[in-house]
């Protein structure tokens, strides 16, 4: 089925089977491998992308359902070598260890700060409670998002 996907401001015209999830299209068809697969059934958050500004699990969405939506992936946050302030903040605060949850975590943070530029720590926790991290213990991630919101 031919569709048009609008990802990180760019239009991709591709043909996909209705069986392919957005995650599979991103990773396998478009080579956007920054978005990760940790469980495939919406329980870990590593595949988080933004869909019309909202954080969603890309592993739960057949790609054909989001043609013409605004999709933002981790690759859409930085511009070449210049990083988004949330990404900078994650680096500064040691919010990254193995890095596998990081893209999804940052996308959840981005969706939060777009909707609520000055969240309190409780709101930050709620926003990333769908993103599992096994390395950091989360504390540094909250710090990083809080700090980014102050910039």
Partner 1 sequence: MESYIGQSVNRLDAKDKVAGRAEYGADITFPGMIYGKTLRSPHPHAILKKIDFSKAKKLKGVLTVLTANDVPGLNRHGEFIPDQPVLVQVGDKVRMIGDPVALVAADTEEVAEKALDLIEVDYEPLGVVGDIESALEPDSIRVHDECEGNVCGFPWYFERGDVEKAFAEADVIVEEVFNTPRQEHAYLEPESGVANINSRGEIEIYAAMQNPSYFQFSISKILGCSAHKIHIISPLIGGSFGGKCDISLHAHLALLSLKLNRPVKMVWSRKESFLASPKRHPTRIHHKMSATKDGRITGLKVDFIMDGGAYASHSPVVLIAMGGSFPGPYDIPNIKIAGKALYTNNPISGAMRGYGLPQAVTATECQIDALCRKLKIDPFEFRIINALVAGKSKPLPYLIEPIPFISLDSTVTLPQTLMKAKEIAGSLKKPSAEYKRTGRAICCSMPLFDVSAMPVFGMMGTNVSVEILPDGSAMVRSSAVEFGQGVTTVLGQIAAEEFGISLDKVNVVLGDTRTTPKSGATIASRTTYCCGNALMQAAQKIKAILLQEASDLLEAPADILFMKNNRVYVKESPPKGISMTELSERCYNKGINLKSESWFTTNHAGFGHTFMSKIADVEVDIETGKVEVLKLITVHDIGKAINPQLVEGQLTGGKMQGLGYVLMEDMITKKGGILTPSLIEYLIPTVEDLPEELHNILVEEPYPTGPYGAKGVGEFGLDTVAPVILNAVYDAIGIRFTKFPLTPQRVWEEIQKKQKDSNGEGIDGSM
Partner 2 sequence: MILPVFKYKEADSLPEALSFLCQHKAKAKIIAGGTDLIVQMKKKEISPQYLLGLQNITELKEIGYLSNHSLKIGTLATLSDILKFPDLETEFPILVEALRHMGSVQTRNLATIGGNICNAAPSADIPPPLIVLGAELKLRSIYGEREVKIEDFFTGPSRTILNEDEILTEIIIPLSPPRSFGRYIKHTVRKAMDLALLGVALMIAWKPEGICEKIRIALATAAPKPFKVPRVEEEMEGKEINRRFVDVVSQIVFDEASPRSSWRASAEYRREMVKVFTRRILLEAMEVISMQESKCPSN
Beta strands in 1-151, from DSSP E residues, in sequence order:
2-7, 10-15, 48-51, 54-57, 70-72
Tokens of 15: 């043909």
Q: Is 86 in the site for partner 2 (CB under 8 A)?
A: no
Q: Is 18 in the site for partner 2 (CB under 8 A)?
A: yes
Stretch that binds partner 2, among 28-36, 47-55, 79-87, 139-147 (CB under 8 A): 47-55
CA pseudo-torsion sign 94, 60, 31, 67: negative
Q: Do the Cβ atoms of 23 and 44 come closer than 8 Å?
A: no
Q: Is 41 in the site for partner 2 (CB under 8 A)?
A: yes
The interface mask with partner 2, positions 60-79, x = CB under 8 A, is xxx-xx--------------
Residue in 7, 51, 63, 77 binding partner 1, rule: CB under 8 A: 77
Stretch that binds partner 2, among 12-20, 73-81, 82-90, 92-100 (CB under 8 A): 12-20
Q: Is 46 in the site for partner 2 (CB under 8 A)?
A: no
Residue in 6, 29, 30, 33 binding partner 1, rule: CB under 8 A: 33
Q: Is 1 in the site for partner 1 (CB under 8 A)?
A: no
Q: Residue 52 CA to chain centroid, in angstroms?
A: 12
What is d(CA 57, CA 51) in angstroms, rounded to the nearest whole number? 9
Q: Is 18 in the site for partner 1 (CB under 8 A)?
A: no
Q: Where does residue 99 rank: exposed (0-12), middle (13-18), buried (19+ CB within 10 A)?
A: exposed
Please, where are the H alpha helices in 1-151? 22-24, 85-92, 102-115, 121-128, 139-150
Residues near partner 1, by CB under 8 A = 27, 31-41, 43-44, 46, 73-75, 77-78, 83, 87-88, 90-94, 96-103, 106, 125-126, 128-142
């Amino acid at each position: 089925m031919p569709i048009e996907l609008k990802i990180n401001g760019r239009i991709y015209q591709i043909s996909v089977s209705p069986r392919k999830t957005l995650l599979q299209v991103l990773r396998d068809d478009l080579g956007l491998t920054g978005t990760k697969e940790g469980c495939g059934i919406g329980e870990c958050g590593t595949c988080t992308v933004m869909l019309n500004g909202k954080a969603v699990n890309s592993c739960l969405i057949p790609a054909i359902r989001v043609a013409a939506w605004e999709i933002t992936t981790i690759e859409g946050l930085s511009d070449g070598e210049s990083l988004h302030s949330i990404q900078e903040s994650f680096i500064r605060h040691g919010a990254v260890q193995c890095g596998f949850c990081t893209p999804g975590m940052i996308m959840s943070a981005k969706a939060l700060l777009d909707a609520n530029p000055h969240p309190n720590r409780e709101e930050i926790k709620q926003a990333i409670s769908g993103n599992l991290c096994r390395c950091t213990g989360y504390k540094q991630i909250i710090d990083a998002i809080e700090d980014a919101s102050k910039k």
